[in-house]
Amino acid sequence: MRTRPLKVALLGCGVVGSEVARIMTTHADDLAARVGAPVELAGVAVRRPDRVRQGIDPALVTADATALVKRGDIDVVVEVIGGIEPARTLITTAFEHGASVVSANKALLAQDGAALHAAAEEHGEDLYYEAAVAGAIPLIRPLRESLAGDKVNRVLGIVNGTTNFILDKMDSTGAGYQEALDEATALGYAEADPTADVEGFDAAAKAAILAGIAFHTRVRLDDVYREGMTEVTAADFASATRMGCTIKLLAICERAEDGGSVTARVHPAMIPLSHPLASVHGAYNAVFVESDAAGQLMFYGPGAGGAPTASAVLGDLVAVCRNRLNGATGPGESAYAALPVSPMGDVVTRYHISLDVADKPGVLAQVATVFAEHGVSIDTVRQQGRNQSGGDAVAIEQGGGRREGGEASLVVVTHRASDASLSGTVEALRKLDTVRGVASIMRVEGE
């Protein structure tokens, strides 16, 4: 074993950083044995250097992250500040000064991954970021390395713990969105400003990263279709239950059937209760990967939290340190396939549509005609009394019966159709006199 230590600069010492520092200190001997050299915490940059930080030598703490990164003796920079700046500049500065980088920063990687990878490669440094997607769950390494000889066709996952907690609450208690969000906030599962989570920005960043790695293609954040889950209602869960489904906020990266393009999207979707993702409860994450040879794989675990995320950071740290001792670098960006990323309109899936309609004879025939005209084939139609969304549905035959009295609500479940065809259908439906409103449109996945 080499006795000269590898020096690590820790940028950020918050939820994740403090756990990284703790494990580096308490497990120093194990890390040294696994790396083949001691791994030394050489400096810690924070915003407020005067705060007491348990277990960290105050002499190591600085507010000047730039100076720390430029010191010249740093082997690995661990960036757990978050956000775009100063993280981005600090990372490129690290490469310029001969350090490799481990980061947990999904927002930055999703936005500037290509440029950062290029900078790493230019300087012959590593850029690792397992912790950026699904916290502790090994996902980037399996996709990039274990499946390197396979062809991934689909990645389907729950990659945001906050929204999974909220949706799981709504499902199990019948609570509405706001009530479930309040509970998540009270329990510390949601931040004071939950926008990034509930509007799907966080999941979209992860989807961009996953799609890029899975398909060896650059996928920008803008390429990811994004729909949050703030409009999911208790009525949607009632509909889902009736269909033997639950609702999850899913990140879905797919190769088109002809293999010539890919898509990436984040939105709430119904999935059958029999699907393994349906039983991912609370703030847990899980990701399904489908590939040609391996078939269906699933990876499950805690998607966030200080210690779990630190576990992923430290796994990367050990790998980067080993590479350094070997005088080598690990796999960099792989974007050789350069497949076009298709827009949402090209995505093909099934849909669950709730319509408020006039309770007149012939409405169903009208509605069915609109679907047919847009080439969207109907699987099932149910009609139910307006104020009975929580009750039993009454299955009716195409063009047939209706419920007496009151307005009616019509639930249509389609066969697979493109998002563009579905949008056209919905637009035309809204123009029908007999359609009072489109109460909800939800995609149905995982079948």
Ligand X SMILES: NC(=O)c1ccc[n+]([C@@H]2O[C@H](COP(=O)([O-])OP(=O)(O)OC[C@H]3O[C@@H](n4cnc5c(N)ncnc54)[C@H](OP(=O)(O)O)[C@@H]3O)[C@@H](O)[C@H]2O)c1
Q: Which residues bind a second copy (CB under 8 A)?
A: 19, 23, 27, 30-31, 33-34, 130, 136-138, 141-142, 145-151, 216, 276, 279, 291-302, 305, 307-308, 310-319, 322-323, 326-329, 331, 334, 336-337
Radius of gyration of the chain (CA): 25
Binds ligand X (CB under 6 A): choice among 37, 69, 78, 81: 81
What, of ligand X, a second copy, none, does residue 300 touch, CB below 5 to 8 Å by kind?
Answer: a second copy
What, of ligand X, a second copy, none, does residue 47 touch, CB below 5 to 8 Å by kind?
Answer: ligand X
- CB nearer to a second copy: pick between 188 and 327: 327
Sole window of 78-86, 140-148, 233-241, 426-434 interacting with ligand X (rule: CB under 6 A) = 78-86
Identify the active-site residue in 70, 206, 248, 360. 206
Could you give the residue ranges of the DSSP H alpha helices within 243-362?
306-326
With both helix axes pointing from N to C terminus, report the angle between 28-35 and 306-326 in degrees, rounded to the nearest 10: 40
Q: Between the CA atoms of 117, 119, 120 and 123, what dihedral angle is there, to the nearest 10 degrees?
A: 160
Give CA–CA dist 164/129, Å, rounded.
Answer: 23
Q: Which residues are annotated as a binding site?
A: 11-18, 106, 191
- The closest residue (CB) to ligand X is 14
- CB nearer to ligand X: pick between 81 and 412: 81
Tell me which DSSP letter residue 60 carries: G
Count other Cβ atoms within 10 Å, centred on residue 83.
11
First to last CA, the chain: 52
Catalytic-residue membership of 151: no
Cis check: omega of the bond before 343, within 30 degrees of 0: no
- CB nearer to ligand X: pick between 95 and 351: 95
**Count of H-run helices and E-run strands, the chain:** 14, 18
Minimum Å gap between C-beta 314 and a second copy is 2
What, of a second copy, ligand X, none, does residue 395 touch, CB below 5 to 8 Å by kind?
Answer: none
- DSSP H or E segment with residue 102: strand 100-103
Minimum Å gap between C-beta 86 and ligand X is 5
Minimum Å gap between C-beta 415 and ligand X is 36
What, of ligand X, a second copy, none, does residue 379 touch, CB below 5 to 8 Å by kind?
Answer: none
Give CA–CA dist 172/169, Å, rounded.
Answer: 5
Query: Is residue 190 near ligand X by the rule CB under 6 A?
Result: no
What, of ligand X, a second copy, none, does residue 80 touch, CB below 5 to 8 Å by kind?
Answer: ligand X
Query: Is residue 305 near ligand X by the rule CB under 6 A?
Result: yes
Q: Which residues are annotated as a binding site for L-homoserine?
A: 191
Q: Are strands 348-357 and 417-418 parallel, antiparallel or unpaired?
A: antiparallel
Query: Is residue 13 near ligand X by the rule CB under 6 A?
Result: yes
Give CA–CA dist 71/304, Å, rounded.
Answer: 31
Q: If we measure between CA atoms, which residue out of 376, 352, 359 comes closest to residue 435?
A: 359
Report the catalytic residues: 206
